[in-house]
Structure 1
């Protein structure tokens, strides 16, 4: 009974702390754990690693794509596309959107270092994303569920992205705020947030699809929840804006380089790591089809097995979003976004080790994971998150020496 009283007292004191501070404490603890993992990875980095012996937290934070963002911030975008020895477009800055790189560049004028500024942007954006996620989940579930959703998100297997030079944290912030506003039927700020999303990292076309599906859902349910003309106009206008900004970067790259296919050719250049020579032109859904054949063929299981697993994964994900009770409790907005984003990935992405990072925008679904209120379940999920986080950091940063160890 004494223990129960102490527990109840502790819970009341915790609840009395302002939400922003509570989330800040949880986020800080999560970042300390991630820092310990990254420090261990730096110590384990050896001759065969991309980072070599003597790796530091700084070198890990500025590894992989962070180098591209830094190079972009310092040198801008090429007017002439670089070519390989065989005459095809090589990897270059056009694959990376400008907002994150140049925001860090602006902050570096105060901090004196682009790398330090980039990490600060990621850290702050990650914290703010946690705050918004809490508010999102709180609209569908009790406070303890919202808190655990934040804990899982802050400690997730890809949580190292919150403290390295990647644009994911910033994109998640724009995305979470946008979804939260849609959940509140407040649309004005989306006219700013959609362009910010579009020029932070690819994915705003998925948001365009989401708005289309959301508009259909609102129309079907207009008797249950009144749908006014102003809301219809906002949804349609924002959908058009998301489509325009979603294709805008291709237009910008074409105008600057004089090559209308510059952006897509640049994106396809990254597939050569796995395919040697990818398709000459971008074909929707071709990446996943070829990827299924490539990976299952590499594993000696045959292309047919890859196609079967791909089809089963699509059916399984659809069933989860349609019928799983905890997912349904998250509301139509989170489910429609998840479906839209998965369809977008299926259409544009070639599956490889970066698939884990590309799935991070599905993070609103941490609310569904936190719905079961069993202590054992929640502790188990947290343990799995931390184990997955260490596995990812160890492979991508301590080792980072194989084609499947690219974050």
Structure 2
């Protein structure tokens, strides 16, 4: 949809080029993981001399393995104080079940999880290229993919997390919206919703997109069938977004089972009875990090939080490179940020939860300077090593949780 006519890569050439970039990035990430294994010691969560398979099954991957092998608890586990303890209901079923099936020829869940993550990661990278090339040229889109696959969170392509599978569905869904292929979304939204949390952000996105389409209908005709699709898909995304809570409540007999499970993790940072209301997570976390941990004025934390929100809004509204990516990417990014502000308790996992904003890599790829693009790539690799070193070589304090 770019106004400039440029030579385009064929689908086959694009698949090969993205594949080469992806393969090189995976070799680099593997080298980083091997180095992290060498540096892992007795104080590390993984102990001395862990293997790559240990990393694949580290952290949340243990929960996915548990879901695949045991399923979900019908009776919620409780702590000594009687509160709901951490349990498998916090993790959606599609990724672990798919990994379990893929693992059958290999005999281990770790192998299945690795294959699903790395294959889905390549597919997501290819879809991201096609999503971005709708707005920017092929060279910039390839650079954006490079930043994506070599970025600070690149280890997720090779460990037992559901992120890459979710990103595949998400990028496909965004591509469908950009190209007005709404019918495919009736299948993509449910698989997205049962891969990991976040489909409610897509419901908000569809609502905002529908409003934008209404106000721009003179520039781009808005037929009745498109209105029906947008409204129906928004409702579907909202229903899917709450479906897992309903399923958990039905099977456990506790209507608040899912929410209580999610809040169980928050007690790792703030002991006591956890409560939820919109924006509460960011407000209480700001007081915790600035006051209890960093010993800074809590008021300063609220100022930083407010300024950060305004800065993100300004970037999405006014930065030319971001505007070049199209209204769909900008509305999705805004919707996802609002979703995080509403429901998330920010801690070190925030870096991982920002990965669905990956289409914004396209904005950093737009400047044509090789110095700039090379500098961004170096920053990505430095960030990747920092993240792997802290989360896998160390992983022994509260801010080293992926």
TM-score w.r.t. the length of structure 2 is: 0.97
Q: Which aligned pairs between 1:63-82 and structure 2 lie closer than 5 A?
A: 63-82=58-77
1:55-101, Cα deviation, whole Å (9 max, x unpaired): 11110111000001001110000000000000000000000000000
Q: Deviations over 1:170-196 (max 9, x none)?
A: 000000000001000111110010000
In structure 2, the residue matched to 1:338 is 333
Find the partner of 1:347 among 329, 339, 342. Answer: 342
2:163 corresponds to: 168
State the 1:16 CA deviation: 11
State which of 124, 139, 142 in structure 1 corresponds to 2:137: 142
Number of the residue aligned with 1:7:
none
For 1:267-319, what per-residue CA distance to the aligned partner results, in whole angstroms no more than 9, with x for missing partners? Answer: 0000011101243x321110000011110112111210110000000100001
Instruction: Give the aligned partner of residue 216 of structure 2.
Output: 221
Whole-angstrom distance in 2 between the partners of 1:215 and 1:272: 38
* CA deviation vs aligned residue, 1:94-122 (integer Å, no higher than 9, x gap): 00000000000111122221110101000
In the alignment, is residue 104 of structure 1 matched against residue 116 of structure 2? no
Q: Distance in 2 between matches of 1:227 and 1:368?
A: 28
Which residue in 2 is equivalent to 1:3? none
Q: How many residues align?
A: 394
Per-residue displacement from partner, 1:229-249 (whole Å, max 9, x unpaired)?
111000000000000000000
Correspondences of 1:121-132 after superposition (within 5 Å): 121-132=116-127
**Could you tell me how far apart the structure 2 residues matched to 1:193 and 1:16 are?**
22
TM-score, scaled relative to structure 1: 0.95
Secondary structure at the counterpart of residue 240 of structure 1: helix
- Please give the secondary structure, in 1, of the residue aligned with 2:278: coil
Query: Within the alignment, does 1:296 sit opposite 2:290 as a pair?
Result: yes
Distance 1:39 1:106 in 2: 27
Ranges in structure 1 where 5+ consecutive residues have no aligned partner: 1-11
Answer whether contact 2:56 2:113 (CA < 8 A) is retained: no
Consecutive aligned runs of 4 or more in structure 1 exceeding 2 Å deviation: 14-17
Correspondence for 1:5: none
Asked if the contact 1:288–1:346 (Cα under 8 Å) also holds between the matched residues in 2, the reply is yes
1:323 maps to which of 318, 340, 345: 318
Distance 2:127 2:305 in 1: 33
1:23 deviation in Å?
A: 0.7
Unaligned runs of 5+ in 2: 1-6
Structure 1 counterpart of 2:277? 283
CA distance in 1, matches of 2:273, 2:329: 34
Asked if 2 retains the 8 angstrom alpha-carbon contact of 1:91 and 1:269, the reply is yes
- Give the C-alpha shift of residue 15 in structure 1: 8.7
Is 1:209 the equivalent of 2:204? yes
1:270 and 2:265 correspond:
yes
Q: Whole-Å Cα distance in 2 between the matches of residues 278 and 31 of structure 1?
A: 42
Q: State the partner residue of 1:191.
A: 186
Q: Alignment partner for residue 26 of structure 1, among 7, 21, 30?
A: 21
Q: Deviations over 1:181-232 (max 9, x none)?
A: 1000111110010000100000000000000000000000000000101110
- Please give the secondary structure, in 1, of the residue aligned with 2:104: helix
Distance in 1 between the 2:63 and 2:11 partners?
Answer: 44
Q: Give the CA deviation at 1:19.
A: 1.2
Task: Tell me the residue number matched to 1:396.
Answer: 391
**Structure 1 CA distance for aligned equivalents of residues 273 and 101 of structure 2:** 37
Kept in 2, the 8 Å contact 1:271–1:277? The answer is no
Distance (Å, rounded) in 2 between the aligned partners of 1:110 and 1:211: 40
